[in-house]
Amino acid sequence: MARPEQVLLLEPQHELKFRGPFSDVVTTTLKLSNPTDRNVCFKVKTTAPRRYCVRPNSGIIDAGTSINVSVMLQPFDYDPNEKSKHKFMVQSMLAPPDMTDMEGVWKEAKPEELMDSKLRCVFELPVENEKTHDMESNKMVSPSLLKSESCTLSMKSMSSTLDDGEVKKIMEECKRLQMEAQRLREENKQIREDDGLRMRKSNVMSSQHSSSVGVVKEEGLSARMVALIVLFFVVGIIVGKLVL
* Phi, psi (deg, nearest 5) at residue 59: 160, -165
The Cα 195–Cα 197 span in angstroms is: 5
**Boundaries of domain holding 13:** 9-98+110-124
| Whether the bond into 143 is cis, omega within 30 of 0 | no
The answer as to whether 2 is a domain residue is no
Averaged pLDDT for residues 231-243? 62
- Classify residue 59: in a domain, yes or no: yes
pLDDT at 129: 45
pLDDT at 153 over 60: no
The confidence score (pLDDT) of residue 84 equals 85
Q: Which residues pair with 94 in a beta bridge?
A: 40
Overall number of domains in the chain: 1
142: pLDDT confidence band, cut at 50, 70 and 90?
very low
* CATH number for the domain harbouring residue 16: 2.60.40.10
pLDDT of residue 4: 85
Q: Is residue 51 in a domain?
A: yes
Q: Is residue 90 part of a domain?
A: yes
Q: Pairing relation of β-strands 52-55 and 26-33?
A: unpaired
**pLDDT at 33 exceeding the cut of 80:** yes
pLDDT more than 90, % of the chain: 39
Residues 177, 155: Cα–Cα separation, whole Å: 14
